[in-house]
Each structure stands twice: as structure tokens, then as C-alpha cells.
Amino acid sequence: MFSIEIITFLAVAVLIAALSKQFGISSVLCYLVAGALMGPNCVGIISNSEFVETAAHFGVISLLFTIGLQLPLEKFKALKTYAFGLGSLQVVISAIAYGCILFFWKNSSLYEALLFGFSVSLSSTAVAVQILNDQGDLATQYGKASFAVLLFQDLAVVLALALLPLAQPGGTINLANSVIAVVKALVVLALLLSVGSQTLKPVYKWASRLGSETFMAMTIMIVLGAASATLSIGLSMELGAFLTGMLLAGTEYRHQIEADIRPFKGLLLGLFFTTVGMSIDFMVLYNHFYSVIKTLGSIIVVKFCVLFILCRLFGLIRSSSIRAAALLCAGGEFAFVLMLPAVKTGIVSLNQQQIMCLAISISMALTPLFSMIARIIGDAVDKRDAKTSVQSVLSGDDKLENHVIIAGFGTSGQAIATAIAQHLIQFVAIDFNMARVSSARARGLPVFFGDARRSEVFNLLCVREARLVVVTLDSYTASSRTALMLLRNFPKLQVWVRTYGSDLVKTLRQAGVNVITPEVLEPSLQLAEAVLLASGVSAEEAKQTIYDYRQKSGVKDAISSKDETLDNKPISLT
């Protein structure tokens, strides 16, 4: 029986992968629909779900491990204001607001209102990050804020998963046990951070010498071992997997580990969402159509309003606030993770869980549409400001501190922005080409019109607080003069420049300028790598970033194209 179910699922997985890639449909939504169709409430191809549920549990564990693997502490430091300020307030206010609606107007129990409120406050990390990557918006103001909110939501889920097993049948939660669980989680986190990093690095160094099979087996053993360890002290297995991922995120083995686990994560997560889909009864949609629509509308309205107001309070401009709110106003996959065990413990009823799952699934399906509409509205809001001068930098964007200034936003400038955006390093760019500025501003990028030859322009960009300045102007003579002007006016400043000509290079280097010389795109990537290293990114991370950019853009070796031939090609900041 299991063999038939496995073959059926693998066939569905292949079909879903093809559909997702061909039509750009979220694979999460495809798995939900496929599960609903194959489940006992519809066609009934898969009737025995015990194996599927077991595999799905490992899917959630792998998801939490992968999320932890992508969250080194440096990212929290870079986005601490947005993550712990905007993110925490969004989760708390959204959960309370929606919980109050359920408690006072829907007569839900307190525990049901709390769980549904918290579940609704979460957004889809998978869908939102995919949209940010596809549109090249990770480096924009709203992209950074959205990503930071998602980071905090992931942390909040881990805490919720640690507390959920303490819920007692009938929908009550032991407060004393909950406090003990939180203390345990903090102790485990402290032990892992203090001891784990010193232990795991030599273990992985040894495993890497024995071949890829041993390396992969080591990863699986460590993840399952940590998950079992947290389970043995009364916490969730997911918490152990997440903490292990965070621990490995700061090691040089992170990318290989992620590459090894990625195929298994996709399949196991597919099983999880298929399981969720199997619990959906289309008769519930038919019998409770208006309840589903009202639930869907209330989720979107509550979260959009909360997110828009908070984004404005945290200094985001109106267009960025609209885009962030539209991207995150839908529900997320972690609501399914939380609600399935809640049904078993009696916190929520199966009927209410199915209505909520249907509403969240529909909202996730609509997220790309929301994002597209928000982009149109945001562009209209920004249209009258398309000719914004550099004097408005401090009034509209983030506080400029420890940032990178890019003088010239042609091909080289965009390549550098692409690289540093992956590491959430704040940057601001200036260019004297109004067409480039308008195009970048329309995408929400921090690019402004300004003359790089004037020192007062750099003063307005807080050059004294900057990490470094990169000069990538189209004219090599202008680049060299600008670099020398910067060092003359700001002697302690670190300046990088792309130029050409042996005599000029010698003069610049004697003055203290860091120089990259050849006149091709490949050196632009070399310059981007140098900027990453100078900004504090590790050598391994910098090389991986440039490698990923080459793979995505098709730049394998040195390219002899001039800057001007590539200026009109869109470069996504991912």
C-alpha cells in the first residue's frame, strides 16, 4: 500500500514541479490542491495517511533547519530595528486584533482566538521571499523591512512550536509548564551557541575529508540528534532543528549543507502540504462559502492596515509601506504547521481549522496579485518624485550609517549593489544620468540624482559615517578625479575605483585609492567581491555571492562588453 502511495506522490511531485516552473505558480499551493484532490474527502487515491504524516513531520523539521541555516546572527544585527521592532509589533498587534475579532464577534473560545490570531499574524516566507527574489527587490527599502518581519515571524513560530506540545486536551494550557518551557529553550540556545560551534566545526572538517556521502550523513545525524534532544526535555523537535541550523549558519560549511538537504527538503515539505491538503474538505467550502470569504477578507484587511501603519511609523515612505503591507498581508504555511496538532489537542475544532486553512490557502494564492497591484500603486505614488534630488535622501530613506556609497549606477554599480544586497548591507547610489535614476527609483531602490564631483553631495550622503565609497562612473577620467577629490576632502575614507591606464593607476594607488583596472564586466565582479570583503563579509561568503551572480546572469568568465552595452539590461538585486 505504501509503495502505491509513494509512487503516486512522486508522480504528483514531478507534475507540480513542472507546473510551478512553467507557469510560475507557487508549489505550496499546488501541493495543497493536489492533497485535497487525492485525499479521502475527494478522489481518495491516498486513504492511509500514516506514512505521509510521518514523512511530513520530517518535512517541517527540515524546513526549520533550513530557515535556521539562512539566519546567521549578522543578519539580525543588520536588521535588528526592523526585525525586533517592526516584526515583533506586527506579530503581537495582528494576533491581538484578529483574536479580538474572533473572541468578541465570532464567540470563539479564548484559546481558539489566541491560536488563530497568532497563526493569522504569520506570512508565507516561501511565497514572499520568492517574490522578492523574482522582482529583484530584496535591496529596496520595503524588501529589507519585509525580510526582517519574516525573520522575526520565523523566530516566533519556533517559540510557538516549543509551547504547543504543552497544550492539554480540551484546549487549556498550563502556564507554569509554559514558563518552564521558555526557560528550557533559552538554556538550550545558550548551550548550543557556547558549546555547539566549537564542537561542530572540527566534526564537519573531519567529515568533509571522507567524501560527500559521509558529509550528508553527518548533517542528517546532527539534525535528528538535536531534534531528539529537545524532544527529550519536553520541547519540540522543530526547535532543535532550527537552533542547529542557526549554529551552522556561521560556518564555512553552510552552503554545502544547504545544497545537500535542499532536494530532501522539497520532497518532504511537499508531503507536508499534501497532508494539509488531504484534510481540506471541498464540501466545507461549498457549505461555508461566505464564512471562508469573510475570513479571507478579515485576514487581509487586518494585516494590511497593521503593517501599513507600522511601516510608516518605522520611517518607510508611503510606496514602500504599501508594497510591504501587500506582500505580507496574506497568511502563511506555518499556520498549517500550528493548526494540525492544535486540532488533535482539542484547542480548535476541525471545522474551524478547515475554514481557516481554506482562507489562508486562497490568500497565499492571491499574494502575487497583491504584490503586482501594490507595485502599480507605489509607482503612481512615486511618479511625481521621480526627479528627486540627493537632498531628499535623509528625509525619505533609512538612517545612513555604516553604509556603502556607490557613485555611478551603470552596469558596474548595479553589479556591486546586487552583491552587497544579498548580505543586507545598506547602500545608497548617485548618478548624473536621470534615466537611470528614474528607472531605479521606480523600483524603490535608493538611487538619487547627483554630481559625484561635488564634495557637498557626499556630505549629504553621510560620507563620514560610510564604510566605503565605490566610484564606478562611465568616464575613467571622472572616476579618477572623483576618487582623488574624496581622499582630499575625507582623508580617512576608504575609496574603491574602477579605472584604466598605467600612469593613472600609479597616481591613484600612491594617493591611497584601491584600484581595479580592466575595462570589462568581470572586473566589476572582482570589485564587488572586494567591496564585500571590505564591508566585513567573510571570504567564503563573498566568493559564493559572486559565484551565484555569475550563475544567474550567465557570466562565467571575463566578458569584453562595454558598460554602455549592458546599461539597459535589468539586473535583479537578489
Burial of 153 (0-12, 13-18, 19+ CB in 10 A): buried
Residue 286 per-residue DSSP state: H
Cβ atoms of residues 144 and 172 within 8 Å: no
Supply φ then ψ for residue 427, to 5 degrees: -140, 160
Q: What is the pLDDT of residue 557?
A: 42
What contacts 350, CB < 8 A, 6 or more positions away? 279, 343
What span, in angstroms and rounded, lies between the C-alpha atoms of 291 and 275? 23
What contacts 305, CB < 8 A, 6 or more positions away? 325
Q: What is the mean pLDDT of residues 376-404?
A: 61
Q: Which of 114-128, 295-309, 368-382: highest mean pLDDT?
A: 295-309
Smallest CA-to-CA distance from 388 within 455, 434, 323 is with: 434
What contacts 427, CB < 8 A, 6 or more positions away? 139, 403, 404, 405, 406, 416, 417, 420, 421, 446
Q: What is the pLDDT of residue 560?
A: 35
Q: What is the pLDDT of residue 510?
A: 78
Q: What is the pLDDT of residue 558?
A: 37
3-state helix, strand and coil shares in percent for the chain, rounded to the nearest 5: 70, 5, 25
Cβ atoms of residues 438 and 386 within 8 Å: yes
pLDDT classification of 56: cutoffs 50, 70, 90: low
Cβ atoms of residues 483 and 497 within 8 Å: yes
Q: In this structure, which topology does domain 49-381 adopt according to CATH?
A: Na+/H+ antiporter like fold (1.20.1530)
pLDDT surpassing 70 at residue 362: yes
Q: What is the mean pLDDT of residues 330-334?
A: 84
What span, in angstroms and rounded, lies between the C-alpha atoms of 84 and 190? 19
Q: What is the pLDDT of residue 139?
A: 63
Q: What is the pLDDT of residue 386?
A: 44
What is the per-residue pLDDT across 516-549, written as a single tens digit (0 to 9) for each?
655 445 667 777 888 888 887 888 788 888 877 7
Burial of 405-443, coded b for 16+ CB within 10 Å and e otherwise, reads bbbbbbbbbbbbbbbbbbbbbbbbbbbbeeebbbbbbeb
Smallest CA-to-CA distance from 269 within 511, 549, 32 is with: 32
Q: Which three cell numbers stand for residue 333?
A: 504555511
Smallest CA-to-CA distance from 461 within 530, 406, 523 is with: 406
Q: What is the mean pLDDT of residues 548-573?
A: 44
Smallest CA-to-CA distance from 97 within 305, 340, 331, 315 is with: 305
Report the DSSP beta bridge partners of residue 471. Answer: 407, 497
Q: What is the pLDDT of residue 172?
A: 53
Report strand pairing: 167-168 vs 172-173.
Answer: antiparallel
pLDDT classification of 573: cutoffs 50, 70, 90: very low
What is the per-residue pLDDT across 450-504, written as a single tens digit (0 to 9) for each?
778 778 788 878 888 889 999 988 777 788 888 888 988 888 888 988 776 556 6
The proportion of the chain whose per-residue pLDDT surpasses 70, expressed as a percent, equals 72
319 vs 123: which has the higher pLDDT? 123
What span, in angstroms and rounded, lies between the C-alpha atoms of 126 and 260? 19
What contacts 183, CB < 8 A, 6 or more positions away? none
What span, in angstroms and rounded, lies between the C-alpha atoms of 143 and 574? 10
Q: Look up cell 535608493; give the residue.
A: 446
| Side-chain half-sphere CA neighbours of 380 within 13 A | 7
Q: What is the mean pLDDT of residues 359-367?
A: 84
Edge-first strand order for the sheet with 495-498 is: 447-449, 427-431, 404-407, 468-471, 495-498, 514-516
What span, in angstroms and rounded, lies between the C-alpha atoms of 119 and 285? 20
pLDDT classification of 11: cutoffs 50, 70, 90: confident
pLDDT classification of 173: cutoffs 50, 70, 90: low
What is the per-residue pLDDT across 372-386, written as a single tens digit (0 to 9) for each?
898 888 777 765 554
User: pTM for the whole thing?
Assistant: 0.62
Cβ atoms of residues 513 and 483 within 8 Å: yes
Q: What is the mean pLDDT of the chain?
A: 75
The proportion of the chain whose per-residue pLDDT surpasses 90, expressed as a percent, equals 9
Domain boundaries, the chain: 49-381, 390-566
Number of helices followed by number of strands (H, E) in the chain: 28, 8
Cβ atoms of residues 499 and 505 within 8 Å: yes
What is the per-residue pLDDT across 239-284, written as a single tens digit (0 to 9) for each?
778 778 877 776 777 777 877 777 776 776 677 777 767 766 777 7
Cβ atoms of residues 101 and 109 within 8 Å: no
Statement: 390-566 belongs to CATH 3.40.50.2000? no
pLDDT classification of 71: cutoffs 50, 70, 90: low
Q: Look up cell 519585509; give the residue.
A: 146
416 vs 549: which has the higher pLDDT? 416
pLDDT classification of 395: cutoffs 50, 70, 90: very low
